[in-house]
């Protein structure tokens, strides 16, 4: 059944995107002008002129809102804030770098009209993306397929449309270590994908270096699976069994075969190897403990300095 009258919310996380915002707005308006819409920009502590540019856009378009964070809280927090504050019957999340084409929103809305409650964008060709990043991305999804208790579609980002019912359930989720696309998959409902070719960034530099991507991968795995703990437990049992077997072999060699067991080099290598394994295991356990520590503190996911809109300015 077609939804003839509805409000479409567009959520745009922003961090130092001054070179992209005007063009993004122009392309969004070209796409969504036929809808009843609101655009929610979330300024995640930008240090450039992003905030001022959005404030200027608010003067021209009363359907724009700016959520201004007190500092940088990260992309996941900014995305969550925009979705939580949205009022639309359908909500589209899109980055400000113009790698995700706004014209795809039409197809998302069409799928939503057909009854799908989550419509995610699947990246086909990726212009300008390095082979190493493509490899690590592919490796990440393979690990997630094995580790996670949910199925996350491959080659997807946060660019997607979600129904108001999904938004209502998303608001109930309180964890601080967030992996947005994983949470949307966890919520469930009827989902489908649309394939597109991802463009190069229009302006500026990516905010996700390999360290941040690694942290995001750790958050996603530890948020949706305890398999790493199960794997290292099994690994510990196997290593202990091998060690016990080697002890028996060396005892037999020493007592019955009268063959001297020597070799300081091999002994040191063995000690270093098992020490490395122990540190690795402690590291994985520490990742889970650190996330428990963060959740127990129960600090807010983000702090809002001010919300700007045309109505607020006129008032």
Examine the pLDDT at 143 and tell me if it is beyond 60.
yes
| Cα–Cα distance measured from residue 3 to residue 72, given in angstroms and rounded to the nearest whole number | 37
The model's confidence at residue 44, banded by pLDDT at 50, 70 and 90, is confident
Mean pLDDT over 127-156 rounds to: 63
Do 192 and 111 meet the contact criterion of CB atoms below 8 Å apart?
Answer: yes
Average pLDDT over residues 202-228: 60
- pLDDT beyond 80 at 3: no
Residues 277-294, mean pLDDT to the nearest whole number = 72
- pLDDT per position as a tens digit, 86-118: 888 899 998 888 888 888 888 888 888 888 888
> Which class would CATH give 7-209+300-314?
alpha beta
Q: In this structure, are strands 36-43 and 7-14 parallel, antiparallel, or unpaired?
A: parallel
* Long-range Cβ contact pairs of 52-55 (< 8 A, separation 24 or more): 53/18, 53/21, 53/22, 54/14, 54/21, 54/308, 55/308
Domain ranges of the chain: 7-209+300-314, 227-297
Whether pTM exceeds 0.75: no
């Amino acid at each position: 059944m077609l939804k003839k009258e509805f409000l479409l919310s567009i959520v745009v996380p922003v961090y130092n995107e001054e070179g992209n915002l005007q063009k993004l707005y122009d392309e969004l308006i070209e796409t969504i002008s036929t809808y009843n819409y609101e655009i929610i920009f979330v300024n995640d502590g930008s240090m450039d002129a992003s905030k001022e540019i959005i404030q200027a856009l608010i003067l021209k378009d009363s359907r724009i809102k700016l959520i201004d964070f007190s500092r940088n809280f990260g992309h996941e927090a900014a995305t969550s804030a925009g979705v939580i504050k949205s009022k639309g019957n359908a909500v589209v999340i899109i980055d400000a770098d113009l790698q995700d084409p706004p014209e795809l929103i039409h197809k998302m809305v069409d799928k939503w009209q057909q009854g799908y409650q989550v419509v995610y964008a699947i990246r086909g060709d990726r212009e300008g993306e390095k082979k190493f990043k493509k490899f690590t991305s592919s490796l990440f999804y393979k690990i997630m397929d094995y580790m996670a208790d949910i199925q996350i579609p491959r080659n997807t980002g946060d660019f997607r449309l979600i129904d108001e019912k999904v938004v209502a359930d998303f608001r109930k989720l309180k964890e601080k270590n967030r992996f947005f696309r994983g949470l949307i998959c966890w919520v469930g409902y009827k989902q489908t994908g649309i394939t597109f070719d991802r463009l190069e960034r229009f302006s500026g530099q990516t905010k996700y270096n390999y360290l941040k991507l690694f942290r995001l991968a750790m958050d996603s795995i530890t948020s949706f699976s305890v398999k790493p703990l199960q794997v290292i437990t099994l690994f510990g049992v196997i290593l202990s069994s091998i060690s016990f077997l080697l002890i028996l072999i060396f005892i037999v060699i020493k007592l019955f075969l009268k063959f001297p067991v020597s070799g300081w080099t091999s002994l040191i290598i063995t000690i270093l190897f098992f020490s490395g394994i122990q540190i690795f295991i402690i590291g994985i356990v520490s990742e889970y403990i650190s996330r428990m520590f963060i959740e127990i503190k129960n600090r807010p996911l983000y702090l809002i300095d001010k919300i700007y809109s045309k109505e607020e300015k006129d008032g």
